[in-house]
Amino acid sequence: MSNVCPTLGIMSILAASMMGSASHLFADDAISMHSHPGYRTWVDINGRWHVLMSPMRSIRCPYINAAGASAVDLPHTWNALDGQDGGADYLRTTAAYLKRIPIPERYENERVFLKVGAANSVANVFLNGRFVGEHRGGYAAFVFELTDVVDWGQDNDLLIFVSNAMHPDVPPYGADFTFFGGIYRDVSLLFTGPLCISPLDHASSGVYVTTQEVGAESATVTVSIRLDNSGSTRSNLRARMEIIDREGETVANEETVLENVRHGQSSTSVAVEVAKPHLWHGIEDPYMYTARLTLLDGDQIVDRDEQSFGIRTFNVDPDQGFTLNGKPYPLHGVNRHQDRQDIGWAISRKHHDEDFAMIRELGCTCVRLAHYQQDPYAYDLCDQLGLIVWAEIPLINRVFHTNAFRENSRQQLIELIRQNYNHPSICFWGVHNEITAPWEPGPDPIPLVTELAKLAKAEDPTRQSVCAATTPDENAANWQTELVAFNRYFGWYHDSADDFGAWVDQMHEKHPAVPIGISEYGAGANVAHHELPPKKSQHDSHWHPEEYQALFHESHWRQIDARPFIWGSFVWNMFDFACDQRNEGGAPGRNDKGLVTYDRQIKKDAFFWYKANWSDEPFVHITSSRFNQRYNQTVPVKVYSNCSEVSLSVGDRSYPVKQSNNHIFEWPTVILSAGSNTIRAVGTDQGQTMTDQCEWHYVAPE
């Protein structure tokens, strides 16, 4: 079958509206910020696409009737609303994304590549009616070369079909969150010369920075480069590497001669010694360097790329936990999904900034970016903030014993590693989540997870593989990775929160040579539900009082903190998130285990419990502040704070100053007056004063 379609259905109905924005794509002022004259130009093409839902088409032929298409900007998802409203009925279909792009004739001697940041979950790309390529997988970037199908100096019709239907060969086949459809990350064009640092190595940068032999006096930095040459063999080229510190000074450089760069793919490497390296040391000192790679033909630059990286070492011990640069470094943090209320996965850099500012405010030292590869900007933020990262692929709940499923799992792991190889924040590659869940049928997962753990080590020997395991604890599939962590919900799905410690001690005793972590633990909370004292919530009920979540986390953190052998612990979840099939806690379509609400507007009480334990920023927080309608005149008041002492007043009545060694300050018998009462807590710490207050209304009996 030909890869050329005789009729392309991007009809004149779209031409006028699409040309309005496309004509400015290549204006000199539009590309100057993203170009390196003579060797590399990036062009953002996010603006003004047209999307047509459920188009009629035939395989490998993009003929469509464009009537009814809607104008959108990328990132975009068609499930922003129906993916969060409950009912398990959000639209899982195929959509056509269309854009007309004029490509100036002056680029005719260059190569052009299309980069899509992510499209969930299967994408087919056509240019000018010709099939360019297919990508299967909803979370990694992908790149296709367009050079041979571009009409230079003319308008080019770009069409991308995206499907978020269920695909048995593409994990995840099923998972406990909404699979938002669409092109939900950035899309751009890259122009290069015939010889370039390759963008085609699984959509990576083509530059891989490895630090070795790290000591106080020096560190070895080795940079591997993937090259792609569409022309004839080139000789006597040079690859120059410069290491640039945070102040912009070159601290090391080296060159190597490339004798014969053949047509097609090839690779080279350059190594250099960095004297007295400044180490990347987590939140205390997230110091970054830049590796600048330049390809030269004489004095002419052929191509250039820059990659940020950090120099650090780490280790995980079964008894002592995690160490960074030879020093104990306790890992306590959260899990993070990438969706937002009314936005889904089509989030902006502003949203990422807000999310990670709250994660950092909490005092986290680590984050698990679950359950899939997230936006490159998220990993950049973790580098800059010093957050240790667990990155993972979406192999969730079950496997299929088909070669296509196996190959796609391998592909997604390779994409995750190569696209994110240079981030010092990443220490762990996750290969599966709850793959042995007893409620999921399917074949034996051990062969596949074992293969993936070995693949992760082969791709990147400097980091460690990990899995998020679940019951049964002793299933062999849980023990194929270098590290193990468990998703356990004592006090929510089973048993009591206070039973957690005995269980984790048992795991440590039974597997003394394997580092044990806690990948998930949490409880739901609706900020409109309140009860004192709270009864144990039923996870599938419609009553999720905020007070129970807080007690759950008080119990768990005390037990985790007392066990330094736990190499890392990750609260499930930092933010409430969409799960369209759920109906619990009074919020259909929502998993409400977040420490922060889905819209990011309310930090729940449990958020401040962890901030009191993890953060050095002084504060006070009155718990149950939203429980503002009271029917008992005598009530308890509880405050979370990291201050040395806290005082309390209710209206004109003052209560004794309290001190605490566990960040909880309590006044068990506070008297309310009929009507409105101002509750005010004041904390002091090293001369600083922090205040929190709220209003409670006491309804006196008639």
Any idea which residues carry the catalytic annotation? 434
The rounded distance, in Å, linking the Cα atoms of 110 and 90 is 43
Strand partners, 369: 336, 391
Strand partners, 483: 466
Burial code (b: 16+ CB inside 10 Å, e: under 16) for 47-77 equals bbbbbbeebebeeebbebebeebeebebbbb
Helix, strand, coil abundance in the chain, percent, nearest 5: 20, 40, 45
* d(C-alpha 64, C-alpha 7), whole Å: 9
Residue for token digits 């998130």? 577
E strands in 436-498: 464-469, 483-487
User: How far, CA to CA in Å, does 86 sit from each of 54, 91, 215?
Assistant: 22, 12, 54
Residue linked to tokens 């062999």: 476
CA-wise closest residue to 423 among 485, 474, 381, 458: 381
> Tell me, what amino acid is at 311?
I
Check residue 363 and give left, alpha or beta (phi > 0: left; psi -120 to 50: alpha). left
| Token pair listed for 365 | 């030292």
Closest of 163, 197, 398, 203 to residue 304, by C-alpha: 197
What distances in angstroms separate CA 465 from CA 172, 193, 391, 457, one per listed residue?
A: 19, 37, 10, 7
CB 617 within 8 A of CB 685: no
Closest residue by Cα to residue 374 from 441, 409, 419:
419
Q: How far is CA 263 from CA 230, 255, 267, 611, in A?
A: 6, 22, 12, 56
Distance CA 638, CA 46 (A): 49
Neighbouring C-beta atoms of residue 566, cutoff 10 Å? 23
CA distance 696 to 629: 6
Pairing of β 187-192 and β 40-44: antiparallel
Which residues have C-beta within 8 Å of that of residue 520, sequence separation ≥ 6? 335, 468, 486, 487, 488, 489, 570, 571, 572
β-bridge pairing 577-578 and 620-622: unpaired
CA distance 559 to 618: 24
Strand 388-392, strand 366-369: pairing: parallel
224 CB-contact burial (10 Å; exposed 0-12 / middle 13-18 / buried 19+): middle
384 contacts 286 by C-beta, under 8 angstroms: yes
DSSP 535-564: PPPPTTSS--BHHHHHHHHHHHHHHHHT-T
> 291-316 burial by CB neighbour count: b if 16+ within 10 A, else e?
bbbbbbeeeebbbbbebbbbbbbbbb
Helix axes 546-561, 605-614, angle to 10 degrees: 20
